Structure 1
Amino acid sequence: MPDTPTALEKVEDALKALFDAYAPLENVTFHTARSPDEAFDETELDDGPQVLILTESFEMNHDESQGQTQVNASLICEVVELSSSAGIVTRNTQQVIAHMIAAIHADRTLGGRLEDLEEQNVAPSGRSGIDASACSLLLDTVFYTPRGDLFTIVGPGGSAF
């Protein structure tokens, strides 16, 4: 089976590229293809916060007016940091998330791929360890694909990604 990225993987990767290009987030490392079950080692956490970009869920609706599929997806950006402050959103994590939201606000369509990208909430994650804690930023997005093709994104202007 060819390794063609799905539309959702393309959204995750475009979000990572947006964050990577945003100067205030230069000390944060973003991951899109890393399993949430893979623990971060102390060296990675010493280098700064680590953020996993994951798809939590998605639903599809037939858009009869365009002959396309509307995809509504919930993404999670899980910020993992070296801290023993489980169950709260630390000030460092608040800073990281505030800069992530500023980056999103600068390009809510991820270069014309999406109809919209909106932040929903922030909450401590249950994935905290002894020396690390995590908080999740939940994002909702809407984009379109051709009917029957969850590999291609059709941007609002008709461009294919």
Structure 2
Amino acid sequence: MSDTALAKVEDALKALFEAYAPLDGVTFHTARSSDEAFDEEDLEAGAQVLILTESFEMAHDESQGQTQVDASLICEVIEISSSAGVVTRNAQEIIAHMIAAIHTDRTLGGRLEDLEEQNVAPSGRNGIDASACSLLLDVVFYTPRGDLFTIVGPGGSNF
């Protein structure tokens, strides 16, 4: 099965983070359910980040004959910590590096019109030995009308 346009955005964001040297030691995941628990050994190896689509809206862009997609993505940082309900210093540092990585390429290689960070909040799913917080990102991109599998970049390239 082909990847959807949103899956391509999630995967491109993961690739951007993985290529950013200060984020070495952090493991990024796409196509993984947020209900799937991490093993203790995974968390001991370093923070885990889930990249998920929270929601998206579509609008007909009549000037281009395309569909404009406005999506909210969540980057959930999960780490070993007993500090439930707060954004730990370690999570703050990881998120600061993630935002710096985003700043290096806000179009994800020409796929997006815009990528903006919105907020950070602790997640409600804190475990006994783990805590989580989420970085919310807003993205805007275009697809051909009726085709949510293809991204049409601002320069006209298809992804």
Could you state the TM-score of these two structures normalised by the residue count of structure 2? Answer: 1.00
How far apart are 1:62 and its partner, in Å? Answer: 0.1
How far apart are 1:149 and its partner, in Å? Answer: 0.1
SS of equivalent residue, structure 1 residue 109: coil
How far apart are 1:42 and its partner, in Å? Answer: 0.5
Question: What are the Cα deviations for residues 92-119 of structure 1, in whole angstroms up to 9, with x where unaligned?
Answer: 0000000000000000000000000000
Correspondence for 2:144 among 135, 146, 150: 146
| Aligned residue identity for 1:70 | Q
How far apart are 1:134 and its partner, in Å? Answer: 0.1
| Aligned residue identity for 1:81 | E
Cα RMSD between the aligned structures?
0.3
How far apart are 1:84 and its partner, in Å? Answer: 0.7
Mapped partners of 1:105, 1:155: distance in 2? 18
SS of equivalent residue, structure 1 residue 84: coil
Find the counterpart in structure 2 of residue 81 from structure 1: 79
Find the counterpart in structure 1 of residue 155 from structure 2: 157
Aligned pairs for 1:103-114 (under 5 A) are 103-114=101-112
Amino-acid identity (%) = 84
How far apart are 1:63 and its partner, in Å? Answer: 0.1
Mapped partners of 2:109, 2:72: distance in 1? 19
Mapped partners of 1:104, 1:86: distance in 2? 27
Question: What are the Cα deviations for residues 6-41 of structure 1, in whole angstroms up to 9, with x where unaligned?
Answer: 000000000000000000001100000110000011
| Aligned residue identity for 2:88 | T
Mapped partners of 2:81, 2:37: distance in 1? 14
SS of equivalent residue, structure 1 residue 99: helix
SS of equivalent residue, structure 1 residue 56: strand
Aligned pairs for 1:54-69 (under 5 A) are 54-69=52-67
| Aligned residue identity for 1:96 | I
Mapped partners of 1:54, 1:127: distance in 2? 15
Find the counterpart in structure 1 of residue 30 from structure 2: 32
| Aligned residue identity for 1:66 | Q
Could you state the TM-score of these two structures normalised by the residue count of structure 1? Answer: 0.98
